[in-house]
Amino acid sequence: MFAIEYGLAIHTSSPELGLALSNFSGDSRFSNWNLGRDLSLYLHQYLAEFIQPQTWADLGWIAVAKGPGSFTGTRIGVVTARTLAQQLDIPLFAISTLAAAARSHLREREGQKATVAVQMPAQRGQLFAAIYEQLPDNCQLNCLLSDRVLSPEQWQEQLESWPRTYELINLPAGEGLGASVTSVLELANLDWQQGKRSLWSEALPFYGQHPVET
């Protein structure tokens, strides 16, 4: 009998740890915990407890939030996901934190075409920003303006010149992002269903800025 494989998503781009697991055939669960600076200490413990009663061998692929967000948290999550995917020899999908937030915001409008501009405070008075469009046929997100770092003035100019109607999403700085791990899982599953098989070595974090001003 063919075994149903699970997808696992990890979100550590904020002080919240988000984990989600699903076989997309009726068995799904997710949890998030506000671990703050203790995230690096307890990530592997929470992972080992969360995955039960499934085992690592039940995983068909892994997804990870690649940032932007917390520099340290993002690095820890991506490194952990890369290590697991390499050891298990399974695909790893690196999903934008901003794309996951956009997907979460648009979940109630599945089947409708919509455009969202997402912004989140970055360091030194700048903004992480991107623009995504939800496609009505499969709820996949089409990236219209890729994740980048802009000054507030540059971002405002970009929005004022944008040719389409959009909704602006203002994310808090590094807070409350863990719950969007379900969207990380969903977006990765859409890629999986389309036949994409990303190698662990291709999953790279997006920091956008150097953590220390030079």
Region 113-122 average pLDDT: 94
140 plus 189 within the same structural domain = no
For residue 23, the one-letter residue type is N
Residue 163 has pLDDT above 50, yes or no: yes
Region 72-94 average pLDDT: 96
Q: What would the pLDDT profile of 7-36 be if each residue is shown by its tens digit?
A: 999 999 999 999 999 999 999 999 999 998
Listed residue (96, 106, 164) closest to 135, CA to CA = 106
82 plus 114 within the same structural domain = no
Region 124-152 average pLDDT: 91
pLDDT of residue 200: 94
Task: Look at residue 184 and tell me if it is in a domain.
Answer: yes
Residues 6 or more apart in contact with residue 176 via CB below 8 angstroms? 14, 16
pLDDT level of residue 208 (50, 70, 90 thresholds): confident
Region 46-68 average pLDDT: 97
The whole-model pTM stands at: 0.93
Tell me what the pLDDT averaged over the chain comes to. Answer: 91
Contact (CB, 8 A) for 206 and 67: yes
Give the integer Cα–Cα distance in Å for 100 and 66. 10
Would you call 99 exposed, middle or buried from its count of C-beta atoms within 10 A (0-12, 13-18, 19+)? buried
pLDDT level of residue 213 (50, 70, 90 thresholds): very low
pLDDT of residue 214: 37
76 plus 138 within the same structural domain = no
pLDDT of residue 176: 75
93 plus 184 within the same structural domain = yes
pLDDT level of residue 1 (50, 70, 90 thresholds): very low
Helix (H) or strand (E) holding 190: helix 181-193
Give the integer Cα–Cα distance in Å for 185 and 191. 10
53 plus 135 within the same structural domain = no
Contact (CB, 8 A) for 114 and 134: yes
Region 121-132 average pLDDT: 94
* CATH number of the domain residue 152 falls in: 3.30.420.200
3-state secondary structure 37-91: HHHHHHHHHHHHHHHCCCCHHHEEEEEEECCCCCHHHHHHHHHHHHHHHHHHCCC
Task: Look at residue 211 and tell me if it is in a domain.
Answer: no
pLDDT of residue 138: 63
pLDDT of residue 112: 80
pLDDT level of residue 62 (50, 70, 90 thresholds): very high
180 plus 123 within the same structural domain = no
Domain enclosing residue 144, as ranges: 110-170
Give the integer Cα–Cα distance in Å for 148 and 96. 11
What string of DSSP letters covers 115-166? EEEEEEE-GGG-EEEEEEEE-TTT-PEEEEEEEEEE-HHHHHHHHHT-SS--
Number of domains in the chain: 2
